[in-house]
Amino acid sequence: MLPWFGQNFAAVTDMTVAADVVVNAAAPLMDSVEPGGLDAFIPNDGKMDLQSVQELTPKLTRAASTANAAHDSLTAIDEERLVPQLSQPLDQATSALDTVRQSLDGASSAAEVLPSMLGADGDRNFLMLVQNNAEVRATGGIAGALVVLKTSDGEIELTDHGSASDLGRFNPPLDVDEEQEKIYSTRIGGFMQSVNLTPDFPTAARTAQSMWEEKNADTEIDGVLAIDPVVLSYLLEATGPVKLSSLNELPVDTGQLPVTLTADNVTETLLSDVYREVEEPSAQDAYFAAVAEDVFSGMTSGAADPVKLVKAIQKSMEDQRLFVWSESEAEQEVIGDSVLGGSVATKEPSIGVYFNDGTGAKMDFYVQREVQLLERCQPDGYYRYAVQTTLTNTAPADAAESLPDYVTGGGAFGVDPGTVKTNVYVYGPAEWFLDGASRDGDTVPFGSYRHGASHVGGVTVALKPGESTTVEFEFSTLFETAEPELRVTPTIQSLSDVVKSTSSASDCTS
């Protein structure tokens, strides 16, 4: 009731109560996550303890609900009415609680669908796409190696593997959403290597499912996963070094490639060195599949550090490198709302910046990228933004001679060896209008499309070794928008190195 004092005392009360209820809600989880408690939630001898997961689910659901309510109470506080000594701690508390809230939401959702996906209600088959970031695709990289996992009452078994090139071309192409075909062509439905030209993972997953089933009529696919070599590096942090015993079965000499993979060498081995030592594309895909099989065996043997394994999965999700799709509508409803779902349709405002290789080779290992949102509000009733992307080709100057043709493309697709050609696409949030595009400050023509509620812009760039360029897409909207989440194609770089903090113009006012 007291002017000025009242809101400050109320803020202290709200922060204190929020902290108290979250701690009390989290207390029942402590027995499950104390040292040794997580052991029940990782595979051991290829099997996971489903009963322990099911027992944890209601605790996680209650804790997540409480954390969300506490976070809402803090965000409702009018920070402008607080003294500085309280506004800064409020920001810190809100940020910390947001991290807790997101983690509990993710864990709660995972616990809700994990038992059924692991075969609690019957056997399931999942197709895993091992994406290769050296030839970039919108969701990460070309899906060269394919692995089939079977789950049965918590048991996880690798039952088949293959190569995308083995599936060949689908002619006529499989049916895909017309909007996406207009943007990415019928190649989406024509080749397994191209299903993820679209950044919408549910679309890519359904297409991959149909392709595998058409060529392998004896296997019904119930869901699709996608990972990349960086995810494998995170998993190797948890499992420790993995000896590649499956290499003995390969019908090809792997040269100087390591026989033991570690968190430090796996990314460069799979995205660069393999092309130097193994020339035949089908043999490269076989090598990738063998690596995936051995890392999978190491992860499910029970030797992994459970805390590190959970952190590896969480890091993979945060970096937008791990995607999951389920044919089950109930499961997909839960997955689709999370970053795991990889859908371009999101509840919260988001901007998508996606890359597709146009070189037809493995040159993206040498491309460095930065992405930034620029606020450029104008006093004409519109809020204006620019999405800025900078690409740099770091390949050696003599790349045409020093790198194998399979890496440079050898000019097979009309791109000079050493040059990297990239198709850049930007998705705006709903109710954002696409106004124009520029490259290095000069206006350029661009492709303009619609994908769901998003206006989409596309520009193609080609960079010789050592060259760099900056592409901007300009948007406007009548409505003030909470800062959108940036979703970016995962590459060999860490997401934190790619996404830069939003830049606000000095004349941008509410």
Greatest mean pLDDT among 2-6, 11-15, 155-159 lies in 155-159
CB-CB contact of 415 with 464 (8 Å): no
For 274, residues 6+ apart whose C-beta sits below 8 A from its C-beta are 257, 284, 287, 288
**DSSP label at 38?**
G
Q: Give the model confidence (pLDDT) of 329-342 as tens digits.
A: 999 998 987 888 99
CB-CB contact of 207 with 138 (8 Å): no
Residue type, 472: E
User: Would you state the structure tokens that stand for residue 179, as one six-digit string?
Assistant: 């909007």
Q: Which residues pair with 353 in a beta bridge?
A: 426, 488
Distance (Å, rounded) from C-alpha 107 to C-alpha 265?
30
CB-CB contact of 142 with 131 (8 Å): yes
Distance (Å, rounded) from C-alpha 63 to C-alpha 58?
9
Confidence of residue 29 (pLDDT cuts 50, 70, 90): low
pLDDT beyond 70 at 395: yes
Q: Tell me the DSSP string of 265-293.
A: THHHIIIIIHHHH---HHHHHHHHHHHHH
- Distances 124 to 152, 214, 328 between C-alpha atoms, Å: 7, 18, 11
**Of 93 and 210, the one with more pLDDT:** 210
Question: Phi, psi (5° rounding) for residue 220?
Answer: -100, 125
Strand pairing category for 420-427 and 223-227: unpaired
Mean pLDDT of 125-149: 94
Ranges of each domain in the chain: 5-117, 124-323, 345-504
- Which is nearest to 65 in space by CA: 19, 116, 108, 1? 108
Greatest mean pLDDT among 232-236, 244-248, 316-320, 387-391 lies in 387-391
pLDDT beyond 60 at 62: yes
- Distances 225 to 131, 322, 407 between C-alpha atoms, Å: 10, 7, 26
Confidence of residue 33 (pLDDT cuts 50, 70, 90): low
State residue 2's pLDDT score. Answer: 52
State residue 437's pLDDT score. Answer: 98
Q: Give the model confidence (pLDDT) of 255-279 as tens digits.
A: 888 889 999 999 999 999 988 888 7
State residue 423's pLDDT score. Answer: 98
Estimate the crossing angle of helix 229-239 against helix 281-300, to 10 degrees: 30
Q: Kindly give the residue spans of alpha helices, DSSP state H, lying in 338-408.
A: 399-402, 405-408
State residue 37's pLDDT score. Answer: 55
pLDDT beyond 70 at 63: yes
Confidence of residue 300 (pLDDT cuts 50, 70, 90): confident
State residue 175's pLDDT score. Answer: 94
- Distances 235 to 43, 111, 133, 447 between C-alpha atoms, Å: 13, 20, 17, 39
Secondary structure of residue 72 in the 3-state scheme: helix
Q: Give the model confidence (pLDDT) of 481-494 as tens digits.
A: 888 889 999 999 99
Confidence of residue 411 (pLDDT cuts 50, 70, 90): very high
Task: Say if pTM beats, i.e. exceeds, 0.85.
Answer: yes
pLDDT beyond 80 at 10: no
State residue 363's pLDDT score. Answer: 97
Secondary structure of residue 87 in the 3-state scheme: helix
3-state SS string for 190-252: CEHHHHHHCCCHHHHHHHHHHHHHHHCCCCCCCEEEEECHHHHHHHHHHHCCEECHHHHHCCC
Distance (Å, rounded) from C-alpha 424 to C-alpha 355?
5
**Of 362 and 245, the one with more pLDDT:** 362
Comparing 2-6, 237-241, 381-385, 470-474, which segment has the lowest mean pLDDT? 2-6
pLDDT beyond 70 at 419: yes
Residue with tokens 């609680």: 97
Among 1.20.120, 2.60.40, 3.30.160, 1.10.287, name the CATH number for the domain at 345-504: 2.60.40
State residue 473's pLDDT score. Answer: 98
pLDDT beyond 60 at 372: yes
Mean pLDDT of 379-385: 82
- Which is nearest to 310 in space by CA: 84, 53, 55, 22? 53
Confidence of residue 510 (pLDDT cuts 50, 70, 90): very low
